[in-house]
Amino acid sequence: MSRPRAFLVLLGIAFFVAGLAVAGTVDRLTGMGFFVVGAFLLILPFLAIHEEE
């Protein structure tokens, strides 16, 4: 896996966890927003048809 794709996966996991934390402590709707962005960033690297190396 290339570095940008690995970075997107790590960023997605960070947003995913932040969404769970925000939903539990602050506001459910804001937490859901973070959760959705994290899920999108997690799946984004795997949507490419082919990888140029």
Give the confidence band of 1 by pLDDT, cuts at 50, 70, 90: low
pLDDT in tens, 10-21: 898 898 888 889
- Burial degree of 39 (CB within 10 A; 0-12, 13-18, 19+): middle
Separation of alpha carbons 7 and 44, rounded Å: 11
What residue ranges do the domains of the chain occupy? Answer: 3-46
The alpha carbon of residue 2 and the mean position of all alpha carbons in its chain are separated, in whole angstroms, by 17
Is pLDDT above 80 for 35?
yes
